[in-house]
Amino acid sequence: MNYLEFTFTLEDQEMQDILIALLAEMGFDTFDETGHLLLAYTDADAFDEARTEALNTLCAQLNCSYRYTTMADKNWNEEWEKQFQPVIIENRCIIRAPFHQADDSYEQEIIIAPRMAFGTGHHASTYLMVQAMMDMDLREKTICDAGTGTGVLAILAAKLGATDILALDNNEWAYNNALDNLALNDVLEVVDMQLAEPPLIQDKKFDVILANINRSVILEYMELFRHALNDRGTLLLSGILTADMPLITRAAASAGLQEVRNLTREDWSCVEYTIHAD
């Protein structure tokens, strides 16, 4: 099977996860984030004139450009496995694929089937969320993972002792992949996985809300997240470019949230908030 390799350049890096999700619906099946570029792969025989037109419309909407090349026939699953390396976070947590050898030398081990690159720990925002969570006491806590993607953060929360976890995502591919990953990590009984939008939580309360999403969604739901927190609850956010932190800071303050800590990696930030004491 011959594949096409598309290289996408986005003006707004925060739109990358949205682009990945929409490309998946168009039949792209493998993705790789390389710096500020997104590589996406699809079967050359299936990429017809209608899909080309749909892709051009999508890129116009998301303000991105692309180029592509035809790649020689090869075993793509084998190639992807060669390229996909385990992610080690602060020498404390390893995120690996099922085909990697188990490694019990770290505090936590998470298994993620690498169907797509986002949510595997390779992206700086996921790395930062895991780094922050490893320093949190989540034992017996109620958790919401809003925009769970591959389920990696919900899985870590379960492994860190949380006993009541709601994970949600509005993308059907992500929902199904997360279910597979929950099963791989034996946490299906602890995590309630829902195909849903954040408003699902409007009548619920949590000790910790995790949201590794993007700036626009965070700003839209900041008030919702605040009101879904228990007293002394924690909101942990990422998917935020460091340059956009002033917007997040103002929205959080307006919602009555107080910053606890801020981690950065490459051009990305992860920030922890709690309810501001009166």
Q: How many folded domains does the chain comprise?
A: 2
The CATH number linked to 174 is: 3.40.50.150
Between residues 34 and 187, the one the model is more confident about: 187
**In this structure, is residue 188 part of a structural domain?**
yes
Q: What is the mean pLDDT of residues 133-155?
A: 96
Query: pLDDT tens, 168-184?
Result: 998 887 898 899 999 99
Q: What is the mean pLDDT of residues 27-41?
A: 77
pLDDT of residue 117: 40
Q: What is the mean pLDDT of residues 72-100?
A: 78
Q: Is residue 120 over pLDDT 70?
A: no
Q: What is the mean pLDDT of residues 130-159?
A: 97
- Alpha helices by DSSP H, listed for 39-169, are 49-62, 76-83, 124-133, 152-159
Q: Is residue 116 over pLDDT 60?
A: no
pLDDT of residue 74: 59
Domain co-membership, 131 together with 64: no
Instruction: Show which of 48, 80, 112 is a domain's final residue.
Output: 80
**In this structure, is residue 106 part of a structural domain?**
no
Best mean pLDDT range from 6-10, 12-16, 116-120: 6-10
Q: What is the mean pLDDT of residues 9-18?
A: 80
pLDDT of residue 115: 62
CA dihedral 125, 61, 167, 37 (to 10 degrees): -30
Exposure letters 157-186 (e unless 16+ CB within 10 A, then b): bbbbebebbbbbbbbeebbebbbebbebbe
pLDDT of residue 252: 97
The CATH number linked to 45 is: 3.30.70.240
Q: Which of 13-22, 250-259, 265-274 has the lowest mean pLDDT?
A: 13-22
Q: What is the mean pLDDT of residues 175-202?
A: 95
pLDDT of residue 84: 72
pLDDT of residue 31: 75
What range defines the domain where residue 176 resides? 121-275
**In this structure, is residue 102 part of a structural domain?**
no
**In this structure, is residue 187 part of a structural domain?**
yes
Query: pLDDT tens, 35-72?
Result: 678 888 888 887 888 889 999 999 999 999 999 998 76
Q: What is the mean pLDDT of residues 223-229?
A: 97
Q: Is residue 112 over pLDDT 50?
A: yes
Q: Is residue 198 over pLDDT 90?
A: yes
pLDDT of residue 36: 74
Domain co-membership, 271 together with 141: yes
pLDDT confidence tier of residue 73, bands split at 50, 70 and 90: low
**In this structure, is residue 88 part of a structural domain?**
no
With pLDDT > 90 as the criterion, what percentage of the chain qualifies? Answer: 60
Q: Give the pTM.
A: 0.78
Domain co-membership, 148 together with 218: yes
Best mean pLDDT range from 26-35, 74-83, 197-206: 197-206
Task: Please enumerate in sequence order all residues whose Cβ is within 8 A of that of 52, keeping only pairs 6 or more positions apart, or say none.
Answer: none
Q: What is the DSSP string of 157-213?
A: HHHTT--EEEEEES-HHHHHHHHHHHHHTT-TTTEEEEE--GGGGTT--EEEEEEES
